[in-house]
Structure formats: structure tokens, C-alpha cells
Amino acid sequence: MDFIDKIRELAVQIPKLIEKDAKGELKIKTEEATKNALIMPFINALGYNVFDPTEVTPELNSDFGIKKGEKVDYAILREGEPIMLFECKAANANLAEVHASQLYRYFSVTKARFGVLTNGIVYHFFTDLDAPNKMDEKPFLIFDMLDIKEPLVEELKKFTKSAFDVNQIISTASELKYTSAIKRIIVAQLAQPSDDFVKFFASQAYSGRMTQLVLAQFSEIVKRAWREVITDRMKETFTKAALAEETDAKEEQAQVSAITENVVKEISGTTEEEMEAYRIVRAIVREVVDVKRVTMRDSQSYCAMLIDDNNRKPICRLHFNGSKKYIGLFNEQKQEERILVEGLDDIFKHAERLKAAVVMYLN
């Protein structure tokens, strides 16, 4: 089995494991349960034997230079020396709000060059790019098991037992870290351009006085121009691919339209909460359909999850624009039933109905 297949196999199990029970609580309630159900299988998928303490040591203890008796959750060893450290949190922990204190302290007193902070779903990989032997504050790689991107799988593969090479990983870590940071900045600016961002472009095309009114007008112009540039470039790319491969022109154009629409909506109007819900729905239905066929189409009143970008094949609708949030589920007559959701985790409660909707269209 290829490495990416192992990772996908683990990912399919996650939605079931993090569902809420009848009391509204996660099935995995503790950090220890998260380790056993999610993190140990992940380490095993990397090729390390979690049952061999000479290879994977749980609760590595070192009193040198850090709080006495403090332990790091897992240490991956090679020839008796740590090469990678894991600090684990419960499955419902928000890693953006967690400080990897134990990982940070252990990093400086071992020979390990890589630290991993994880809740079993998202994995943050750290190294010491900013200062030698001092763990960076920001990760150079973030891997989300519910939103698997193939280019990042290739980066993750470098951490497997058979491929592990410190120098090779470090050589690409810097590029990964700063590329990710710049991409986040670009997406944020396209969604809500800052005055400086707008001024840069406006000053190239407008010679008048830069008042607040002019800036406000150019803010919308800049957003629209960027969307059109992205659309044009994607059309150009797919057109060239179509000519090179002699594929059916109509089918290729349909792919261009679907992908372009999703990208444009992501940077223009779709909220991060809707994007996260989209990832959850894809994770749920991947058991019954290729997730490449699952698309999202946003409108002013709702955000729809569709099969093959076809409005006649709705999986569900998200009504997240009001003070209360609802998910719209469909029966065999394609009649929508709106159900109140308190948070994104509530989507997992409706996993069977979501999969049933997909199967209905496939049949």
C-alpha cells in the first residue's frame, strides 16, 4: 500500500472517531484516548513501530535544563537519539490557541531537529530555522488529515522511517514555511485588501488625489481584477492542457468552470467556517464517492455542497449567514429539511444522511 493510501485510510476513520455521543460529548474525550485512537496509528503509518521503545519512546523524560519530571509525549529514536518529538493534545483542542511549551523546552536539550504538535487531526511540524537549537514559534508544515493535499503528502513522506533525511527536510522547510505564510497573506488581502495593498495598485493606474473615497472604490476594483486574472490564467492553463492531451473540449471547459468558480468564491465571499464545513462534508462522504466530485457553490443566501457541481444533485446546504446556523438535508424527493447546528462538529451527527444523499445520485 502506498504511503498516501495509508494516510487516506486513517483519514476515513477520523469522522467516526470524533463524532459526538448522545450527551453531545466527543467520543474521544481525553488526550490519552486521542493518542491511542489517532496519533499512534499516524506514527505507525510513518513506518515507526509504536510498540518498540527503542524506536518510539512514550513520555520521554529528561531533567536536564527543563522542569524536573516533565515529559514529552513521544520521541522517535534513531540509534538511541531522538530525531522527532511529539506533543499531543486532545482531539477537540485548537492548536492555534495552544502553546507547545513542553515541546519547546525539550527541543533545546535533545538532538532532535523536528517537533510535532498535534491533536490527532492536524499536525504542526516545527524546526529551528530562525535560531539554531531553538524551536521556531511558527510551524513550517501544517498537515490536516481532514483536508489532505497531495503536495503536502509528499512533504510528509519525507518524515517516514525509510525516507527520513534531516538535511533534505531542512533544505525545503524554509521554503515551505515562508511560502505558506505568503499564501495566507495573499488570500487575506484578496478577501479584504488593506489600504497599502490597494494603494500599490491604484497608484499604478490612477494619478489623482488618493482620498478615502477613491481607496474604497479601488478596493472593489482590485478584488475584481484579481478574480479575473485568476480566472483567465486557469482557463489558459486548462486550454493548453486540453490541446496537448487532445481531450474533449466541452468536458475540459466544464472542469475549468467548476474549479475556477470554487477558487474565486474561496477568495471573495466564502467564509472560513463554510470552508471548514466543506472539508468535513468531503471527509464524511469520501467513503462512498471520489471527493474530487464533491464541489461547493456559494450564493448570497446559502452555501451548497454538490455532486459534479450539479445543482440537481445537492448533498446539503449551509445556511450560516444569520444569527443561527442551519444545515439543509435532502430526502429522496430532494425536499430540503433545515436542522439547527450549534457548531461544525454537529455536522458529523448527520453523516449517514449525507452519505445517503450521495448514494442516491450515484444509483
Residue 359 contacts by C-beta under 8 Å, 6 or more apart in sequence? 288
- Residue 166 Cα distances to 111, 114, 141, 151, 220, angstroms: 11, 9, 15, 19, 46
Contact 4, 143 (CB under 8 A): no
Rounding to the nearest 10 degrees, give the CA dihedral for residues 248, 250, 253, 254: -110
User: Would 358 be classed as within a structural domain?
Assistant: yes
Q: Are both 131 and 263 inside the same structural domain?
A: no
Which one-letter amino acid corresponds to residue 250? K
**Could you give the CA distance from residue 359 to residue 363 in angstroms, rounded to a whole number?**
6
Q: Are both 135 and 33 inside the same structural domain?
A: yes
Domain end position, chosen among 233, 252, 267 = 267
- In the chain, how many domains are there? 3
Set of cell numbers at residue 322: 444569520
User: Would 202 be classed as within a structural domain?
Assistant: no
Length, in residues, of the chain: 363
Q: Are both 284 and 149 inside the same structural domain?
A: no
Q: Are both 289 and 156 inside the same structural domain?
A: no
**Could you give the CA distance from residue 34 to residue 86 in angstroms, rounded to a whole number?**
13
Residue 12, helix vs strand vs coil: helix
**Which phi-psi region, left, alpha or beta, contains residue 142 (left: φ > 0; alpha: ψ -120 to 50)?**
beta
Dihedral pair phi/psi, residue 78, rounded to 5°? -140, 125
* Degrees to nearest 5, angle at CA 305 with 184 and 179: 15
Q: pLDDT by residue for the chain (363 residues), tens digit each?
A: 789 999 999 999 898 888 777 777 777 878 999 999 999 999 999 999 999 999 999 987 755 445 555 678 999 999 989 999 999 999 888 888 877 777 888 888 888 899 999 999 999 999 998 888 889 988 999 999 999 988 899 999 999 999 999 988 988 887 887 887 787 788 788 778 888 888 888 888 888 888 888 888 888 888 888 778 878 877 777 666 666 665 555 565 555 555 555 554 444 467 888 889 999 999 999 999 998 899 998 877 789 999 998 888 999 999 988 888 999 999 988 889 999 999 899 999 999 999 999 999 988
Which one-letter amino acid corresponds to residue 143? F
Q: Are both 177 and 285 inside the same structural domain?
A: no
User: Would 193 be classed as within a structural domain?
Assistant: no
User: What pLDDT sits at residue 356?
Assistant: 93
Q: Are both 261 and 176 inside the same structural domain?
A: no
Q: Are both 351 and 309 inside the same structural domain?
A: yes
| CA atoms in the 13 A half-sphere facing the CB of 77 | 16
Partners of 341 in beta bridges: 325
Q: Are both 358 and 251 inside the same structural domain?
A: no
User: Would 283 be classed as within a structural domain?
Assistant: yes
User: Would 155 be classed as within a structural domain?
Assistant: yes
**Could you give the CA distance from residue 80 to residue 86 in angstroms, rounded to a whole number?**
16
DSSP 36: I
Q: Are both 33 and 95 inside the same structural domain?
A: yes
User: What pLDDT sits at residue 247?
Assistant: 57
User: What pLDDT sits at residue 74?
Assistant: 93
User: What pLDDT sits at residue 267?
Assistant: 45
Cα-Cα-Cα-Cα dihedral sign, residues 30, 32, 37, 42: positive
Alpha carbon 66 to its chain's center: 33
User: What pLDDT sits at residue 56?
Assistant: 95
**Could you give the CA distance from residue 208 to residue 314 in angstroms, rounded to a whole number?**
49
Q: CATH number of the domain that 154 lies in?
A: 3.90.1570.30
Residue 311 contacts by C-beta under 8 Å, 6 or more apart in sequence? 297, 304
**Could you give the CA distance from residue 329 to residue 14 in angstroms, rounded to a whole number?**
22
User: Would 237 be classed as within a structural domain?
Assistant: yes
> How far apart are the two ends of the chain, measured CA to CA in Å?
29
Residue 22 contacts by C-beta under 8 Å, 6 or more apart in sequence? none
Q: Are both 168 and 311 inside the same structural domain?
A: no
Which one-letter amino acid corresponds to residue 73? D
Q: Are both 14 and 82 inside the same structural domain?
A: yes
**Could you give the CA distance from residue 341 to residue 177 in angstroms, rounded to a whole number?**
35
Per DSSP, the residues of 191-245 read HS--HHHHHHHHHHH--S---HHHHHHHHHHHHHHHHHHHHHHHHHHHHHHHHHH
User: Would 189 be classed as within a structural domain?
Assistant: no
Domain end position, chosen among 267, 286, 303 = 267
Set of cell numbers at residue 291: 471527493
Set of cell numbers at residue 213: 473615497
Q: Are both 226 and 109 inside the same structural domain?
A: no
**Could you give the CA distance from residue 79 to residue 77 in angstroms, rounded to a whole number?**
7
User: Would 196 be classed as within a structural domain?
Assistant: no
Residue 269, helix vs strand vs coil: coil
- Domain holding 150, by residue range, is 3-183
Contact 12, 286 (CB under 8 A): yes
